[in-house]
Every structure is written in C-alpha cells, then in structure tokens.
C-alpha cells in the first residue's frame, strides 16, 4: 500500500474511500459501505450524511440504501471522453428546442443507467423538468433510457432487467417480457416514442447518435405535451425527421471534432 502523503487530510481520504466503495455497485447499505471502507459505523454514517448534504450521495427513501448522487454524475458529465458530446450537441439542440419548441436532451448510457448530460429549452414552450442534468430515469421509462438499453448486448440487457422495473405511471412497461419485445422493436426502427410513461400528458421521442466507429455515442431526445408531439390519430411521432436530422448534424460535428 502506498504511504500517505504528510499533506494527506484524513477526513477527505475517508470521504473518498466512501465514494470509491460504490465502484461497480448500484447501491449499498450502511453495513456494505462500512465493510468496504473498514471504517466504524458511526464515522461511515457521518460521512454519508455529509456527502448527501452536498449531493454526492443519495439515499432511497424506501430501501434506505445509498447510491451515487447527482453532483458526482454532473461532474462526470463534464469530463470529455474522446470528444465532449455535451458541447458538440449543445448548439444543435439549442436550435432544435427553439424551432419546435420543445425541451431537448442529450444523454449517455452508464452501467445500466442513462445519464442526462444536458437539457435545452426555449421560453416559447412548456419546459419539461422530469429529467435534470446529471440525473437518471428508470431504464423502463422515457425515450432515451429504453432506446440506449435497446442497443446494448443481450447479456447487458438481461443484467439490467434483473433490477425491478419502476412504474412511474400506468403506461410504464413493467412486464419484463413485454419490455424485451419492445427493446427489439426500438432497435429495429432506430427510435423510441414514449407516450405518458414518465408523466401522464407528456411524450418523449429519442434517436441514437452514432460515433465515428459505428457504435452508439449517446442519444438525443425531445419531450413536451403529448398533443404537441403526436399525430392526430395518436399513433406516430410528429418530429421524427427533425430529430434524426439533428442527430446527423451532431454526428458530423463529432467527426470534425475528432479530425482536429
């Protein structure tokens, strides 16, 4: 083990040990964190409370388990990974949100979660607040979460499906077999159109953004009032081609960024 520096601040090192204990783990109990860090229970609880107060850890009010919080996700969202998808997508989505007008999002897949990197909104329309920057949505709800899950390997999909689906509304898909079938449809049609499954009266439309190598870099999506995004018969998305063109623009910007 590396000897600690003389400048090492013990409280900071302990807090980092708590955060590091969440590596490869979706959530932990107090006992889990205590065992992983080797700290006593009282110290671990105080550190968790401090990290919660600052947004770096969150606690599920039902299970009382702890997980990584929004503040840490927001920091991660600002770290470029080959290219900065958030910065590349921003001007395209700003224009899209203004023209339609809708709330536009860019997001990425992260170990079973889909994290919102940015949310753009024009003042002319209703702003959708359900998905904050740095936040996640349940894998079975919304446009981008289901879309990005659909492009994962069969093994990864099955791993994620071991987690209990979340019924955000009566339209949320909670039957795993139904969801498996839906994921295949999404991959085949190359978009997801989610009506009322995050909040009644709201609809989301999502398409993939592809990396230069052909993989999925992330997703862009738009959300708004259902009548705003659905055809009169209630069956099809209104702005699919607009969103796909925005994705193509972002993909071209990614290629240019990689060439610089």
| Residues 169 and 140 sit within 8 Å (Cβ to Cβ) | no
Maximal CA-CA distance, the chain? 69
Residue 169's pLDDT band, with cuts at 50, 70 and 90, is very high
Q: What is the rounded average pLDDT of the residues 145-167?
A: 95
**pLDDT value at residue 235:** 77
Please state whether the predicted TM-score (pTM) of the whole model is above 0.85: no
CA dist 82 → 143, 212, 238, 258 (Å): 25, 11, 33, 8
- State percent of the chain over pLDDT 70: 88
Q: How far is residue 68's CA from residue 63's CA, in Å, rounded to a whole number? A: 15
The encoded tokens of residue 220 equal 């862009």
Asked if pLDDT for residue 73 goes beyond 80, the answer is no
State phi, psi for 240 to the nearest 5 degrees. Answer: -60, -45
Contact status, residue 88 vs residue 250, Cβ threshold 8 Å? yes
The C-alpha atoms of residue 59 and residue 199 are separated, in whole angstroms, by 23
- Summarize pLDDT for 99-126 with one digit per residue, the tens: 988 899 999 998 888 989 999 987 666 6
Give the DSSP letter string of 108-158: EEETTEEEEEEEEE-TTSPPP-SS-TT-B--TTSSHHHHHHHHTS-HHHHH
In the block, residue with structure tokens 């069969």: 154
Would you state the pLDDT for residue 80?
46
Residue 250 host element (H or E):
helix 240-259
- Picking from 114, 110, 151, 149, the residue whose alpha carbon sits closest to that of residue 131 is 114
Query: Domains of the chain, with CATH numbers?
Result: 10-68 (1.10.10.10), 75-259 (3.30.450.40)
Mean pLDDT lowest for which of 71-75, 153-157, 166-170, 240-244?
A: 71-75
């Amino acid at each position: 083990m590396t000897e600690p520096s003389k400048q090492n601040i013990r409280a900071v090192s302990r807090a980092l040990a708590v955060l590091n204990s969440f590596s490869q783990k979706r959530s932990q109990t107090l006992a889990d964190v205590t065992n992983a860090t080797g700290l006593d229970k009282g110290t671990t609880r105080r550190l968790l409370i401090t990290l919660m107060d600052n947004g770096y850890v969150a606690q599920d009010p039902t299970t009382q388990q702890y997980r990584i919080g929004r503040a840490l996700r927001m920091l991660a969202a600002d770290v470029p990974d080959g290219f900065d998808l958030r910065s590349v997508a921003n001007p395209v989505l700003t224009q899209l949100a203004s023209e339609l007008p809708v709330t536009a999002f860019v997001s990425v897949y992260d170990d079973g979660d889909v994290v919102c990197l940015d949310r753009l909104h024009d003042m002319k329309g209703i702003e959708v607040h359900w998905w904050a920057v740095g936040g996640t949505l349940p894998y079975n709800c919304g446009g981008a979460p289901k879309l990005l899950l659909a492009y994962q390997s069969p093994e990864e999909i099955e791993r994620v499906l071991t987690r209990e689906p979340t019924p955000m509304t009566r339209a949320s898909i909670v039957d795993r077999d139904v969801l498996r079938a839906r994921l295949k449809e999404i991959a085949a049609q190359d978009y997801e159109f989610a009506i009322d499954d995050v909040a009644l009266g709201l609809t989301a439309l999502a398409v993939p953004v592809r990396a230069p190598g052909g993989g999925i870099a992330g997703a862009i999506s738009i959300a708004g009032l259902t009548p705003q995004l659905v055809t009169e018969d209630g069956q099809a998305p209104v702005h699919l081609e607009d969103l796909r063109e925005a994705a193509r623009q972002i993909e071209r910007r990614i290629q240019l960024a990689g060439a610089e």
